[in-house]
Structure 1
Amino acid sequence: MDEAYNKVDSKDMMDHRNKTRDFLKGICLWVYKNVLKPSSLGVIFLFILIIMLLFFNPIIGMGDDGSNAGVLSQSNLYDVEELTPKQSMAFFEKNWGIMQYFNESYSSLSTSQTPFINAAVKLDFGLTRDGVFDLRFYAAIISICYLFASYLLFESVTKGKRTVSAYLIVCLGVFFFGDTAYTAWFNSFYAQGISLFSGIILAITLILMGQKKYNDYFLLVLFFSNAMIFCLLNHQYTILGIFMGILGILLQYVQPRKTFKIICIAGGSLLIVVSIIGFFLMSDNLTSINKLHSMSRGVLMTADNPETALEYFGINPQYSVLTGTNYYEAISPETINSTDMAIDFFNKITPGKIAGYYFGNPGQLYEMMNLAVEASFNIRPSWLGNYEISQGYPPGTQTDFFTGWSYFKANIMPGNFGFIMIWMGIIIGVYVRSFRLGIIARNERNTLEFLGLMTWMFIGIWQLYFSVITTGDTDNTGRLFVFSLTFDLITFVILGKLFFWFGKKLEKTDLKNGVNKFLKRKRNEKSVQGGTAE
């Protein structure tokens, strides 16, 4: 009887061991499939970098240049530290006050950034209830969206493969997009953090749709939702909503299902309508300072004859004295704000007129685009500090931690529009063949990778041009953030393609076997020499 019990116990123990072993195997298999693949590892490294930089001392963020007053008003926040304007630029502020009473400066017209800030404020209040808003709650929300966008980006480039090339390109992606010059924007009220993740998702959904990587409906919802977020971030992006709305309508040809076509047409039409409404309702933020700079630091600065340039706008040639000056050194504030200045100068300047002038003077436009590209490669404005005033760093100090890519772009990469034109030619040359074949074969999916890259390119070039006609060459570093981002995204995708092509070439030439044979021959030679010596 004892033997029977022992046999039963042994059998139970064996069953338990087998179940435990199967359970552990299942965990290991899940980890291998989902955690150890290149895209997941890339996101994990980005997560570690963000946690280190944005949430633990010394906390990294961006100083405030005063342009975020409207954003603060829409979310009922105020400056609790009461820093001077100069200090606000030189130091990052983590804590902000939450208004408890009526907000006199509140504006009912919000941007797509407002819901993200409001969600962060409510989350902070729900957890702490201290009446002070910690900006890291906002950074946490933006970081989650950014990590999700990065995962999709890595998935599109690696195409689910686990080759050496896939791991290398993801490492390059971490080097590019984990750069502190990008992630430091999350700890600020600037719109750059949202434009970062929404800008990535906009085109990456098209590329993934072409690869049949995920469900088409899921990608379609991502495309339209992020297009809406991106276009309503700022007045200058609303025009892009018309372009993306048309693109969304054209996506109906990707698959024949009626439901899919209806979503494409409805989503694209809604995006166009909302963008047009946003264009007329949202403030264009073109102050007299912007108009002055668009002329003095743009049209007049690059003109051979400033007086002749002013005649195009119907402005008195005497205003040519403003050539090359900025708002703070040109003329007195009383003159700038006078009625005569408004009638004789500012009222005659519009973005449309400036665009028309540059269209007739392409040499000046090229010169301004050169300056804009050079400024865009400096991802962080040099005048905005990264540290809190309480941390004891000198005013305006910026971190050097994990800034290799931004340093390379700012100091080594050619910063001129000629380089950008060559770069665009290479991109179009690489992808236009697959696009043409897709059109001929009526296989619209094969055209989506090209369309995704062209979407990024169009958005980037649009921001370059818009910045030139609205502010000249002033304040371009922050304004041209999206161009810098789209340049990096397209470059990253192209390098990914190059890495995989090179990896396949190595496999075809069987270079690995050749190297192994060479090393084996060297070892044999050494062993023979050793035997001879003995």
Structure 2
Amino acid sequence: MKLRIRLEWLIVLVAAAVLVPLLFFSPIGVANNGDFYRMMLAGGIDFADPDESNRDKYFGYFHAIYHYGPYSAKHYLSSQIFFVFMAGLIGRVVNSRVFDIRLLALLYSALYVAALYVIVKYNKRRSILFNAVLVASLSLVFLDIGYVAYFNSFFGEAVTVIFMLLTFGLALALSRSDKPSVWLLTAFFLSAVCLVGTKLQNAPIGLLLVLLGLRFWKLRADRMWRWTVGIWSAVLLLASVTMYAAAPNELKHINLYQTVFFGVLKDSPDPAADLRELGLPEEFKVNAGTNYFQTDTVMKQDDPRIVAALEGISHKDVLLYYVKHPDRFIQKLKRGAENGMSIRPLYLGSYEKEAGKPYGAVSYTYSAWSTFKLKVMPHNLWFDVGFAAVYLLVLMVEYVRHRRLKERMVVETLLILALVGMFGFAVPLVGDGEADLGKHLFLFNVSFDMMMIASVLYIVRLFVKTAGLSRRG
């Protein structure tokens, strides 16, 4: 008897074959850089060894085992809190004394596999070659250790990549469905809210996703559908605004400090003039080029004079500065491009201390794509601009060529993806300076890789159509 497996279930099997050994047996993760604790508190999770040295606790080793502690969100708003909280609850049922972070990885993995399933189900074609490239490209790129290692951590990047894939997968599903359901529409908006709510950096893309969501208005004419579109669009917009409005003042101060001192003033030919233009005292020039976490600054980063002065400006002032000085902004964009192909921070270790690896050792198991990007792909702004230009040109041609609503909505979805990538590239530079660019450009990395896969599949589809290789069934 011939066994046939649907393509969407094949990607599930492939994902399981990669994720299980990487994340659950001799697990690989990402070490703590000091950002974990506020998210751990949301799940009532604490460090296993309170006497562990800072050297062992941070940067060098990934930790799989934690203990339980008090619950506290500390006024920090993120959709990630829900998943950490749920993992903490499950952990207490499984083992009331020890929390294993692999429970969180299991929750993330289930959502991730669901996203891959949706993408394959609604984008497969009647072509063996196209379908093979679809599964192979998703497996190569998005099962790479650079992405999935985040699942064994408390970093928000795990939630970002999951809901980027799921949001755009569901958007394409709605665009390609003959009779899109209200449930599918609701799933799209819920996924978009989770994506926007992951971290402050993601909030601006909520406006783009609202525009995409409103386009689904035309897919059905019934009242239930249009009420659903309207209400969820309002919810998504509110979530985007709330993410910024609810950000803790301390976080806003840190971001503004990084934006000004490690952004505008870094490599500035005249820091005093830049400070004057921003409406800040010239005396702050002694801190030009410093980041918030340095310990050797002339003036302390939380000096009352700096805190008070930064309260008088906003990121809008910084954006206006770059509008007036495009050469300086291009300088920052070039710096971003130099760091934009790194999916994960390689200064954070991948192994538990018990694994016996050197301090800070990084795993390169199943890392072909992330290694290729890091070592082979060009790290310059003009490559990024050229790729985006060709991508957008092809979308424009396809939009003009197609007349049907659904076909045009597929193109619009891929356009929004490109705009998300652009936001993901520019927003960290305006909002956080040059601080930890390899990590802060993560959203750009995900968008770029999705665009790259879409481009490869487009070329394969043209080849299949030209060569007459498509088949029925």
Same fold (TM over 0.5): yes
Alpha-carbon distance in structure 2 between the residues aligned to 1:213 and 1:390 = 53
SS in 2 for 1:97: strand
Structure 1 residues 395 and 287: alpha-carbon distance in aligned structure 2, compared to 1, 3 A threshold? farther
- Please report how far the alpha carbon of residue 75 of structure 1 lies from its aligned counterpart in structure 2 after TM superposition: 1.6
- Pick closer, same or farther for the CA change 1:283–1:243 going to 2, 3 Å: farther
1:122 is displaced (CA, Å) by 1.9
Q: Name the aligned partner's letter for residue 16 of structure 2.
A: F
Output aligned runs, 1:362-377, within 5 Å.
Answer: 362-377=326-341
- CA separation of 1:239 and 1:326: change in aligned 2, threshold 3 A: closer
Q: Superposed, which structure 2 residues align to 1:65-80 within 5 Å? A: 65-80=33-48
1:487 matched to which residue of 2? Answer: 448
Aligned-pair CA distance for 1:374: 2.5
Alignment match of 1:453 (pick from 396, 401, 414): 414
**What do residues 79-123 of structure 1 show as CA deviations (whole Å, max 9, x unaligned)?**
113333432211101111112xx55x5536542111211221222
Q: Secondary structure at the match of 1:301?
A: coil
Match of 2:90 in 1: 123
**Aligned equivalent of 1:9:** none
Instruction: Give the match's secondary structure for 1:336.
Output: coil
1:68 deviation in Å?
2.0
Q: 1:203 deviation in Å?
A: 1.8
**1:235 aligns with one of 175, 193, 200:** 200
The correspondence of residues 24-103 of structure 1 with structure 2, limited to 5 A, is 28=2, 31-32=3-4, 35=5, 37-57=6-26, 59-82=27-50, 83-87=52-56, 88-99=58-69
- Which digits, 9 at most, give the CA deviation of each residue in 1:398-437, with x for residues without a partner? 0011111101111211122222221111111112233235
Aligned to 2:98: 132
User: If you compute each CA radius of gyration, which structure gives the higher value, 1 or 2?
Assistant: 1
Residue correspondences, number:
468
- Aligned position for 1:402: 366
Q: 1:366 to 1:271 in 2, by over 3 A?
A: same
Higher relative contact order (CA 8 A, sep 6+): 2
Closer, same or farther: CA 477–86 of 1 in aligned 2, 3 Å: farther
Which amino acid in structure 2 is aligned with residue 77 of structure 1? Answer: I
**Structure 2 unaligned runs (5+)?**
none
Q: Partners of 1:410 and 1:382 in 2: how far apart? A: 11
8 Å CA contact 1:247, 1:268 repeated in 2: no
Residue among 348, 362, 377 paired with 1:413:
377
The alignment partner of 1:286 has SS state of: helix
Separation in 2, partners of 1:238, 1:327: 22
Tell me if the contact between 1:92 and 1:385 (Cα under 8 Å) persists in the aligned partners. yes
* Higher alpha-carbon deviation: 494-503 or 398-407: 494-503
Cα separation, 1, equivalents of 2:466 and 2:207: 42
The 3 A distance-change label for structure 1 pair 449 and 351 is same
Paired residue for 1:153, among 119, 126, 135?
119
Which of 457, 460, 470 in structure 2 is aligned with 1:499?
460
- Shift in CA distance, 213/77, structure 1 to aligned 2, threshold 3 Å: farther
Query: Which amino acid in the other structure matches residue 91 of structure 1?
Result: Y
> Is the CA contact 1:65–1:85 (under 8 Å) kept in the aligned structure 2?
no
Q: Provide TM-score, normalisation by structure 2.
A: 0.92
Cα RMSD of the aligned pairs, angstroms, is: 2.4
Q: Which moved further from structure 2: 475-484 or 268-277?
A: 268-277
Query: Any gaps of 5 or more consecutive residues in structure 1?
Result: 1-24, 509-534
Question: Aligned equivalents of 1:233 and 1:329: distance in 2?
Answer: 26
Distance 1:55 1:409 in 2: 26
CA distance in 2, matches of 1:285, 1:476: 21
Percent identity for Structure 1 against Structure 2: 20
**Quick one: structure 1 residues 133 and 333, their matched pair in 2 at CA, closer, same or farther if it must change by over 3 Å?**
farther
1:288 Cα deviation after fit = 4.6
Does the CA contact (< 8 Å) of 1:169 and 1:499 recur in 2?
no
What is the deviation of 1:196?
1.0
1:346–1:265 Cα change, 3 Å? closer
Q: How does 1:405-444 map to 2 (within 5 A)?
A: 405-437=369-401, 441=403, 443-444=404-405
For 2:271 and 2:187, how far apart are their aligned partners in 1?
A: 48
- Bigger drift between 277-286 and 422-431 goes to 277-286
Q: Distance in 2 between matches of 1:428 and 1:261?
A: 30
Tell me how far 1:52 sits from its aligned partner. Answer: 0.7
The amino acid of 2:311's aligned partner reads N
**Separation in 1 of the partners of 2:420 and 2:458?**
22
Question: Which portions of structure 1, spanning 4 or more consecutive aligned residues, are displaced by more than 4 angstroms?
Answer: 327-334
Asked whether the 8 Å contact 1:249–1:267 carries over to 2, the reply is no
Q: CA deviation at 1:480?
A: 1.4
Contact 2:45 2:88 in 1 (8 A): no
Paired residues for 1:44-443 under 5 Å: 44-57=13-26, 59-82=27-50, 83-87=52-56, 88-99=58-69, 106-107=73-74, 110-129=77-96, 131-159=97-125, 161-212=126-177, 215-283=180-248, 286=251, 288-327=253-292, 331-332=296-297, 335-343=300-308, 345-437=309-401, 441=403, 443=404
Query: CA 1:137/1:427 → structure 2, altered by over 3 Å: closer, same or farther?
Result: same
